[in-house]
Every structure is written in C-alpha cells, then in structure tokens.
Structure 1
Amino acid sequence: MTTSRLTRFVDLPGGIDIRTALVRAQANAEAYRGSALELIDQAIEALIVAGEDVDAATAARLAETIRSLAGMFELATLEQSAASLCDMVRALVERGAWDSRAVWVNIRALKIIRQHGDSENLQEVLEGLRRLGARAAAGRQT
C-alpha cells in the first residue's frame, strides 16, 4: 500500500498532532473575525444602498460574499439567509424574470438577521425566505 504525502508528514518527528493543528488554525481564523464582520456589514450596506434596483450580478456577488464569510465564522442564520438570496437570484436569472420585490425582501432580512445575531428566534424568518424564494423561482406572485 502506498502512503500519501500527508501521512508521511504526520509521521515525521517533531511534527504537531492534528488537534494542535486544528486549534492553531481556529485561533488564526478568529484573528480575522472582526475584519470578516466588517466585510459582511459592507456587503449588506451595498445591497441596501442599491435598493430594489440592485442588478442580479451585484446581488449574487454580495450575497455569496456574505454567505462565505458567515459560514467561515459559524454565523449559521446569516449564512442560510445569504444562501437563500443566492438561490433566489440564481433561480430568477435562470427563469429570466427578475423579481425586485422578492430580492428586496431578502436583502432587508439579511440586515435584520445581522442586527439580531444568530438567534433561534429567526428560524421562522429563514423559513419565510425559503418560501419566498420558492415562489419567486416558480414564477408565482410574491
């Protein structure tokens, strides 16, 4: 059986164990939490400023930024809300029927969720966003 390069490095004397490596990686990531939250806030603000006139490319790019950063720092509710916006934008573009009101509702929800943190009380909001996205993607009146 051949050994992988990683296996060979793990077995080297003087190396660090996996747990130590994970703890260090987590600590390094935490050093960027403040910067990441600022980037999330800037992306949400850019969406708010664009308002109902936001174009699909901008909405998708900013929502993906929010989703990625929120996921990295385990902000589950914010990540799910941004993912809903990503899915909605993709579906509306594929359908060829932009629904600015539905997108705007999702953008406003992002701001509310960011202001209130990762609360279980917001699960109903997330479920509403999923339903809104499904209706918009199916072309039903929102």
Structure 2
Amino acid sequence: MSVFEVLSTVFVIRGRDFECATSIGDYHVAVTEQGAVYAMRCREGGECRDCVEFPIYEDVVAYLPRRFYNCLGCLLGEFFNAGLFNISVGGVVVTQRRAYLVPPMAKERGDPERLAKRAGGILENYMLKVLAASFKTCCKL
C-alpha cells in the first residue's frame, strides 16, 4: 500500500448532526472563533462499502474501508492525540476538545485571511511531522 493510496482513501464520518465523506489527504486550514486549526474537508455523501466502524470520541464514528482499516485507524488515532482530528462540514468546523490551535495575533483578530495564511505553514508543518512519525509504523510499508 502506497502513501498516495492511504491519503486518497475516502471514508465516512458520522456525528450527532452530520454524515460526510473525507480522506486524510483533504486537510485545510480552517479559522474558528478561537483561532486556526487544520481540518479534514468533509463532503456530502456517506456511503461506504465493506467498511468497519472505528469509534473516534463521544458520538463521532468513522467507517473505514476494511482494506485500510488498521492503517487509517492508527493514523486517525495519532491525529486525534496530536489535536488534528477536526472536521469541516459545510463551512462549519467541528473541533475536538484539545485541538491544536494557532491563536490569532492582535493584528489578525479582524482578519481571518491573514490568520489563515500565517497558520497554514505552522499547521502543515505540524501535520507532516505527525504523519512522517507515524506512517511507517501505522501502515507497515
């Protein structure tokens, strides 16, 4: 299994008020009231064939394709522990309790685009470090 296959594998996430499809490779910077986070962009849809349930927290469950279950489950666990399991559903960001957050500086409080631009490099670098540290172990390449 290649890095590309894992990053592009689509899976379903269901929460109390949403159901959507996403992939680990679909992260982007999202600005919230508290600051900027890295979030998976979740699109409409929710069908997953031959998938296995993977509980994330409280009422959020991922349905992972059986072929990638161990790899994706492990990576999602690593992202959750690192504060990177955030979901962007229709423009609304659902963040985990201890999300890795880049707070706004004084000059960015009224300018979300400026915050997103600065936070982008910080969040992407952090995400790549977590991915690099855990991919080989999680996905047994």
- Above 0.5 in TM-score? no
Which structure is higher in RCO with an 8 Å CA cutoff and minimum separation 6?
2
**TM-score (norm. length: structure 2):** 0.30
Higher helix share: 1
Higher strand share: 2
